[in-house]
Amino acid sequence: MSRLPLHENLPERSYEVGLHPVEEGLHAREHEDEGKEAWSHQYAVANSYQSEKQKPQRIGGLKPWLFWLVIGVISVVVIGASVGGAIGGSRAAKGNSPLAQSLGTGSVSASTGTVSSATSSATSDLSSVVTTDCPSSNGTSFTPKTPAGNPGQYNFIKYCGFDTDGGDLVEAFVVDVDTCIALCSNWNYMQKDGPKCTSASFNVNGSPPGNCWAKTGSGLKVNSRQAAALLQ
């Protein structure tokens, strides 16, 4: 009796067909995993955006209310320092400014009569320190000292109720007409190569930044609110 090969009685298998379910299952799992990853990414992004949105907004590293409080305090300090500095500067100008070393240190030759000082009708603390010796100083001479405090060489005559012509060289806020004249005189010591100051104009009712003008004028103009001085 002849024997048949064992493999002839075995049922045929289609390996190609049998692989399809497995591959399809792999594809389904891969798609499922991709869906989960996409959903997880969207959830993480949403949570990150929500967290950023919930974080308190800051300005310069500070909370908004604290930032604006600091700005307000700085503004008050700057304004106070400006006003205080202007008042202190006008009072201390006699010894501190190179252009005002001779403030109030000049020699005065007064005409007949008593020299008086009147306080202006001020509307602020700053302008209340400003005074004038007009009209009694009209026609008197004033010679400011040099910035170094030595006897000066520039002699001026005062004129009450007048302004001067000419262009402005420098503007300042000062306490009296003598200080204004000294500003003009000191300009000539400090600016030897520039235009010469030949007149000064002072307004007792003026307000910051200026009530005094050192000028290049040589003539007078009637102005009841001004006091002028001309270099001799």
The string of pLDDT tens digits covering residues 168-186 is: 999 999 999 999 999 999 9
99 is a domain residue = yes
Residue-number span of the structural domain to which 219 is assigned: 94-231
CATH number for 123? 3.50.4.10
Count of the separate structural domains present in the chain: 1
Question: Is the alpha carbon torsion for 159, 178, 165, 141 positive or negative?
Answer: positive
pLDDT for position 214: 98
Angle at 175 between CA 211 and CA 150, to 5 degrees: 110
43 is a domain residue = no
68 is a domain residue = no
B/e letters for 96-134, b = 16+ CB within 10 Å, e = fewer, are ebebbbbbebbeeeeeeeeeeeeebeeeeebbebbbbbb
The confidence band for 189, taking pLDDT boundaries of 50, 70 and 90, is very high
Strand-strand pairing, 141-143 and 156-164: antiparallel
75 is a domain residue = no
Averaged confidence pLDDT in the chain: 70
Predicted confidence (pLDDT) at residue 43 exceeds the cutoff of 80: no
64 is a domain residue = no
157 is a domain residue = yes
60 is a domain residue = no
The confidence band for 202, taking pLDDT boundaries of 50, 70 and 90, is very high
Answer whether 0.85 is exceeded by the pTM: no
Residue 16, class by beta-carbon neighbours within 10 Å (0-12 exposed, 13-18 middle, 19+ buried)? exposed
CB 224 within 8 A of CB 158: no
213 is a domain residue = yes
